[in-house]
Amino acid sequence: MSPYIFTSEDKQNMKIAIAQQNYHIGNFASNTKKIINAIRDARANEADLIVFSELAVCGYPPYDLLEHNDFINQALDAIELIKAETDHIAVLIGAPSRNQQLHGKSLFNSAYFIYGRTVNQVIHKMLLPNYDIFDEYRYFEPAVESNVVEFKGKKLAITICEDIWNVGDRSLYKMQPMDILTLQSPDMMINLSASPFDYMHAGERLKIIRENVKRYRLPVIYCNAVGGQTDILFDGGSTVCDVDGAIVEQMPYFEEAQAYIEWQDEKLSVVKGKQTDIPAIICSERKEVFDPGREIDTIYEALVFGIKEYFSKMGFQKAIIASSGGIDSAVTLALACRALGPENVYALLMPSQFSTGHSVSDAEQLSKNLNNPYEKIAIRKIFHHVELALKPAFGDLPFNVAEENIQSRIRGLLAMALSNKFDYILLNTSNKSELATGYGTLYGDMAGGLSVLGDVYKTQVYALAKYINRNEEVIPEHIITKPPSAELRPGQLDQDSLPEYDILDAILYQYIERRQDALQIVNIGHEQELVKRVVNLLHKSEYKRKQFCPILRISPKSFGRGRQIPIVSLYTEF
């Protein structure tokens, strides 16, 4: 045992710092500097221990970067730099470690307990998530045993994220990580986490934490990461609960923070920290019926945060948006202006011969309200020249979806041309309802570097618009109240091709988020032929979604890496 580790006969009070930080995947210099600054701050505040989140050193999730030997070497080099800061403070931090055994995967997902410039103990994650956005079995070997860390006379049960999530599984044949650690009589549980955001997840997390407290009769320190990692958002909300399940500390959401907990005479108290309004983001349990207004303020903050994170971490500054005068582009524009500043968001209006006058005036008024730059480039003449070029091939065939898609692709071409010329990133404006049913044009309105609303149903888009207008009219009221239309032919309305959005979204929510079978959806009251039509549209459109840009994930089941459906499939439910 290291001379820096105290025995159980020398129990002392302890001051613990919790570092809720935003890491940049693979940016070891920045991450390490941030970590060391937090350690120094904690040491200056006389903390005995500072806790960081899962895979903090390299950022989470690194995915196939873990397959590069140099990536692991840089992570281990960072651990060496961190060790040098631990003369008078212990550090508990997440990083990959190499598996020295002859069998299994080459890496562990680990927590390093460092004190006195020595790695005293390395705890490996036991339960590796392999669902939705998670794919940890691809890289890591699961641990089969674990031991408490003894420090200052206290026994600390260290777990990593998923290790605490199966607390309800009381199978006689499957012990949970904390069941094993409980045999060693720990005094506290500390969980290093990188738990991604969705608008239902904060409440689920708190429920899991309290279930662990109840089952093991231990106080819990839960340190979660914060930050945007392309499509996945981490919201923080690190939590401390006492042995009775009462929240001692709830750290802010969507921002970095550092808190200090005093552990004295078996009681926990906040010494220094920035607390959030706990009820503000604590969501209730998942509902069986879709509610488009649910947690809309949280969704709004998450989308703004996601845009800001994507641009800052990718080194981008300016966005361009195809502003049509419709609800989707209006909400996207408002979110982008909030995230990046209106001066950095360029709106491009591209009316055609089918565009209504109010669409142009609505889009212009929106940019005036937001004070962002905008420009109008009419596409009527461009469309006419394309028609002439295609006349020999098309002959006298009637106007149909081909001509509609040409207009959309002209708009995509112009938006991308300006993007290339002026270093803008094109923000896509398609919503989840459209992506689900294939109501979009590849290489046209589906173009973009980032999808802002791709995980937001159309009815939620309307709820966001009303939320944006809660204090003043930012989005012109006419944009919100007029019937939605792609305006690609005379008198076109979305409902010519799709069911009413409130019905469509209710069906999609049951099928996508709740994974209900089609017949189950029929049994709760939806018309069978409509359900069949919606489900068939969903499956037929998979090829489009596979070619789509990254989507900011705000729901429990987003399109993208978390929903793996084959393109070529004959699966049918009727």
Query: E strand or H helix at 407, and its extent?
Result: helix 401-422
554 φ/ψ angles, rounded to the nearest 5 degrees: -125, -5
| Pairwise CA distance, residues 573 & 500, whole Å | 23
Tell how far CA 339 is from the center of its chain. 16
The question of whether 54 is a catalytic residue gets the answer: yes
Q: DSSP state, 344?
A: G
CA 132 to the chain's CA centroid: 12
> Could you say which of 161, 241, 283, 337 is catalytic?
161
Strands 220-224 and 188-193: parallel
Contact 110, 123 (CB under 8 A): yes
**Angular region, 94: left φ>0, alpha ψ -120 to 50, beta rest:** beta
| Run of H or E including 363 | helix 357-370
The single residue of 15, 34, 125, 458 carrying the catalytic annotation is 125
**Environment class of 109 (CB within 10 Å of its CB; exposed 0-12, middle 13-18, buried 19+):** buried
CA 98 to mean position of chain CA atoms: 28
Per-residue burial over 409-435, b if 16 or more Cβ lie within 10 Å, else e, is bbbbebbbebbeeeebbbbbbbbbbbb
Active site residue 125: yes
Rounded Cα distance, 329 and 345, in Å: 12
User: Which SS3 state, helix, strand or coil, does residue 13 take?
Assistant: coil
Catalytic residue among 15, 54, 141, 557: 54
Contact 372, 333 (CB under 8 A): yes
| Catalytically active residues, by annotation | 54, 125, 161
